[in-house]
Structure 1
């Protein structure tokens, strides 16, 4: 919702101020379709040239995150901690029994209780691969932590590609606006024999290109890139939480301590309170009893 509010504020403040200063929309409206075709078309074409098809699809999908916000909310972090609690407790009580859950999580009675988490292939793979490594005596906490860190760095680098691609477009839009403006000036020079009132409208139309390039770059595409980056980095905390809990488990801390490590590494606005998490874990224990 706040994204839509921001768009409205941008339009109202820019064009409202222009009209309040005595500006006329006629020239802008008349030139807008042609300038938008040149600038927008060139920006889209440059974007397609510089990115693969998978990156294009990823960016198109990530644009919706500007309005939806982060994927993971407060309840999801609580559920993740409960899921990890169940898995760690079972792994310590019966190392053999945990195998059926990490080998086929989509059929697991534990994982299926958390459908939203189960739908994320990466978080499930992260949990299962790490716990599988531990079951194979690959239990050097520092080595596992290093492997997880490199894996998450690679995943984050890939996830941030949309933001970088959008920022590249934003950086190029002012220059594309100048290109459109130059073409408008060329058109104006071809009509140099016309009276001043005609030339004035032609020059005004040409300057719309410069305005539009800067307006789109700093009013929309740049902020979109920044928001996609912010949302992606915030969702990355969900995976970091998995790493913190599972590494604490490899250090052989008590199960409750492992979960508390994860709780305290949860972003403050998504962090469940101690009592809230304790109640959720009690419910998990009662369900398993």
Structure 2
């Protein structure tokens, strides 16, 4: 929502200023310049990154427009899921978690939190983190470094779209100049025409520079920043999860393991310690 509002402010301010100065919006409409800038920009993106990174970039942009990123309700669902799993493991033994971890889609615990269950990547991370504990294949103090390595890999993959968008943001002003130079070259063949014709051609050429700079600093660079903030929020989510699971593996009580996760977050994202404890205990019937 804020991206849309911000974009409207950017466009509205530019258009209003242009009109106030006595301009006519039709003077900014030059399809040839738009096609040149858009086509070259797409070509630069295709050259600069492999297919999977380009697909990830598109998804990241769509996610940013939708306002993706974990919110307070997402963290609360996570803490409830972990608390229920930890309590089950504490009461009935770690092997009791096997059926939930092996098939989360049919788990009575996971089914209580459909939004969390729908995020396959986060469910997979949680289940794969608990699996070594259940199987007894790893010592508790060895678990967190393992999870950190997985989080680092996710962080590296998430940075691909940022690299692509940074490149496009840096390239667009230059691409706009390329389109402008093409327009000036074309104008040279009209020097025997009237001043009106030549002026129109130069106007079209200069619009290329305008569009390149406007797109870079008005949209691409801010969008890149939003995606970066979203990546940091996702990383915090996984760190929160890994710390809580690591604490449970080391023998902390379920409520304290989840409390460690709560303390890893900003206060605005989670309830107070007392409120969280009441919520968790009520979700499991005590």
TM-score category by the smaller chain?
over 0.9
Comparing 197-206 with 146-155, which one deviates more in the overlay?
A: 197-206
Q: Tell me which residue corresponds to 2:56.
A: 58
Partner of 2:229: 230
Residue 15 of structure 1 is matched in structure 2 by 15
Contact map agreement 1:88 1:249 (CA 8 A) in 2: yes
Asked if residue 73 in structure 1 is aligned to residue 92 in structure 2, the reply is no
CA contact (8 A) 1:66 1:228 kept: yes
Partner-residue secondary structure (3-state), 1:192: coil
SS in structure 1 of the partner of residue 70 of structure 2 = coil
Residue 269 of structure 1 aligns to a residue in which SS?
helix
- Quick check: 224-233 or 195-204, which moved more? 195-204
1:25 aligns with 2:25: yes
Deviation at 1:63, TM superposition (A): 1.7
| More displaced stretch, 236-245 vs 274-283 | 274-283
Q: CA deviation at 1:284?
A: 2.3
Q: Secondary structure at 1:109's aligned position in 2? A: coil
Unaligned runs of 5+ in 2: none
Partner of 1:148: 147
Cα distance in 2, alignment partners of residues 143 and 95 from structure 1? 17
- Asked whether the 8 Å contact 2:46–2:54 carries over to 1, the reply is yes
Q: Secondary structure at the match of 1:70?
A: coil
Matches within 5 A, 1:103-118: 103-118=102-117
Residues 1:23 and 1:130: Cα distance change in structure 2 (over 3 Å): same
| CA-to-aligned-CA distance 1:140-176 (integer Å, 9 cap, x gap) | 3442111111100111211232222122111111111
Q: Distance in 2 between matches of 1:129 and 1:105?
A: 11
Q: Distance in 1 between matches of 2:128 and 2:233?
A: 23
Deviation beyond 4 Å, 4+ runs, structure 1: none
Shift of 1:35: 0.6
CA deviation vs aligned residue, 1:44-73 (integer Å, no higher than 9, x gap): 122122233332322222222223213422
Structure 2 Cα separation of the partners of residues 75 and 12 of structure 1: 34
Displacement after TM superposition at 1:139 (Å):
4.3
Task: Name the Cα RMSD after superposition.
Answer: 1.7
Whether the aligned pair in 2 keeps the contact of 1:70 and 1:232 (CA below 8 Å) is no
| Aligned length, in residue pairs | 285
The Cα offsets for residues 110-157 of structure 1, whole Å up to 9 and x where unpaired, read as 111111111222222222222221123344344211111110011121
Alignment TM-score, normalising by the size of structure 1 = 0.92
Which structure 1 segments of 5+ residues have no match?
A: none
Partner in structure 2 of residue 38 of structure 1: 36
Match of 1:182 in 2: 181
CA distance in 2, matches of 1:64, 1:130: 29
SS in structure 2 of the partner of residue 193 of structure 1: coil
| CA–CA separation in structure 2 for the residues paired with 1:26 and 1:252 | 69
Give the Cα–Cα distance (whole angstroms) in 2 for the partners of residues 284 and 24 of structure 1: 62
